[in-house]
Amino acid sequence: MSESESFFGDPDPIFADKELLRVSHLPEGDRIIGRDQELQKLANAIKDAQRGGTPNNVLIYGKTGTGKSLCSKYITRDLTQAAADNGIKVGVAYVDCFQESTETQTVRTIAQALNDPVQTDITVPHTGVSTSDYYRRLWDILDARLDVGLVILDEIDKLEDDNVLMQLSRAAEAGKVTESTLGVIGISNKIRYKDSLNERVKSSLSERDFVFPPYDANQLREILRSRADAFREGILDEDLIPKVAALAAKEHGDARKAIDILRYAGEIADEHGDDTVRVEYVDEAHDREEQARLSELIAKQPEHSKYLLQALSLQVQEAHDDNSAIPTKDVYSMYELVCERNGVDPLKMRRVRDLLSELAFLSLIEQERKGRGKGKGAHTVNQLVDEPEVVVEACKSA
DNA sequence: TCTCCACTGGAATCCAAGGCGG
DNA sequence: CCGCCTTGGATTCCAGTGGAGA
């Protein structure tokens, strides 16, 4: 790559089209690997929509990185086009229930995604109106500009209550919408999710359910090869893709992880000024991937949760024992210091306990209740799941 | 086995931000 | 513009818990 000197610097020596290595990159149909059956089943479930009929509601299960979101997005996009050829207007709303976990937020997001203010003359404000108002606007939007609305609820198990599912799945029969119809695609990591639903929602929501199995090493290898165009010709070490695929297959067959590791390996080669992406970079790339995933999760947390994580990390470091469990009270006093250092007012104890149990729910920390003996009552101790140094680093970058 | 009491966690309440109808 | 309503985060209040020490 040294022959093309330019005032604007050399072209990227490693990547030809890095976009291909973004996880959100939606490949063309022939490039979704090893999911032909699943795509066909999904298509069958919702195919009525392309003639304006009501699609079946679907629940999809599978571990992270098994292509659930990808296939849902792909198939709904395909359906929207096929329907448009029949003169049927299909709208797709994608909701990440991790981010929009309350009923109000979910309805609002759906309404915003399906709305076109110019066409419907309906506004969907960010705050200030009641939940039922959001519902009413959503129904109006559906009737006004669509024949079929498809709602993808990703990480559906993170929803706080299932009222929204009830409303969505029964919208048509309850006469909320008359000119249009509605289908729901729910995506869950937890295979037992269905058991937590009440009977009515369960029967209407999971008319069909599918399980996406983890990718095996062969499929992962193929997936990685299909994205190898992201790199310049011939710079990948021969054993690189098989090694990354084997690593990811061992860890739950997560394709997203595999792609991320491949990208990091490329970046490491770039930093070393190396013109080959060597197989030796894989371990470091793996570390980076784990750190990045943690940072991403921590970055999504509220400000004070980050301070709490920092406080807990500091105490664990002070204790010189990565597995030491810190009582909530001690975490709180350290947290007050962290807040002071950052120039913010600390939250009260009660609120902090809520945030801590939320962090425990996300498996960023572990909590255990302990007794303390006479006159001491019960209390909770908190433990970091990850290395304190890593957590502190993640909090800083977030 | 009983008791003690700090900590837990549910519930009520407050507050800020923001839309809506009059 | 004003009063009223909604949501969601934070605070306040308080009854209940639970396990080591007696």
Same domain, A357 and A239: no
Residue A102 has pLDDT above 70, yes or no: yes
Measured CA to C1', the nucleotide nearest A370 is C19
In a domain? residue A66: yes
Query: Domain ends where: A246, A277, A297?
Result: A297
Closest residue to C10 (CA to C1') is A351
What is the rounded distance in angstroms from the CA atom of residue A92 to the CA atom of residue A113? 8
Share above pLDDT 90 across residues of chain A, in percent, rounded to a whole number: 42
Look at residue A353 and tell me if it is in a domain.
yes
Tell me: do A162 and A257 sit in the same domain.
Answer: no
Average pLDDT over residues A76-99: 94
pLDDT at A149 over 80: yes
Please say if the pLDDT value at position A141 is more than 70: yes
Q: Which of A211, A245, A262 is the last residue of a domain?
A: A211
**A78 and A169 together in one domain:** yes
pLDDT of residue A398: 60
CATH number at residue A78: 3.40.50.300
Q: Is residue A260 domain-shared with residue A331, that is, in the same domain?
A: no
Share above pLDDT 70 across residues of chain A, in percent, rounded to a whole number: 94
Query: What's the Å distance between residue A152 CA and nucleotide B11 C1'?
Result: 34
Query: Residue A7: which pLDDT band, with cuts at 50, 70 and 90?
Result: low
A180 and A91 share a domain?
yes
Q: Mean per-residue pLDDT for A23-44?
A: 82
Q: Return mean pLDDT, chain A.
A: 87
Residues A346 and A227 in one domain: no
Task: Specify whether A186 is located in the same domain as A221.
Answer: no
pLDDT of A381 > 70? The answer is yes
Same-domain check for residues A76 and A223: no
Domain extent, residue A252, equals: 215-297
Q: Is the pLDDT of residue A1 over 50?
A: no
Question: What is the reported pLDDT for A10?
Answer: 64
Same structural domain, A259 and A378: no
Contact, A4 vs A11, CB < 8 A? yes
More confident call, A388 vs A149: A149
Highest mean predicted confidence (pLDDT) among A65-79, A226-240, A306-320: A65-79
For residues A49-75, give the mean pLDDT: 92
Of A211, A234, A253, at which residue does a domain stop? A211
Footprint of strand C on the protein (CB under 7 A): A 102, 104-105, 127-131, 302, 304, 345, 347-348, 350-351, 354-355, 369-374, 377-378
pLDDT bracket for residue A376 (50, 70, 90): low
Q: Look at residue A206 and tell me if it is in a domain.
A: yes
- Cα(A7)–Cα(A367) distance, rounded to whole angstroms? 57
Q: Does residue A66 have a known ligand-binding role?
A: yes
The CATH number linked to A355 is 1.10.10.10
Judgement on whether residues A75 and A163 belong to the same structural domain of the protein: yes
How many domains does chain A fold into?
3
Assess if residue A11 is contained within a domain. Answer: no
CATH number reported for the structural domain that contains residue A291 in this entry? 1.10.8.60
Is residue A205 domain-resident? yes
Shared-domain flag, residues A81 and A225: no
Residues A315, A281 share a domain: no
Give, as ranges, the nucleotides of chain C with any atom within 7 Å of a protein CB: 5-8, 10-13, 16-22
Residue A29 lies in a domain: no
| A67 assigned to a ligand binding site | yes
Q: Which carries the bigger pLDDT value, residue A201 or residue A188?
A: A188
Domain membership flag for residue A15: no
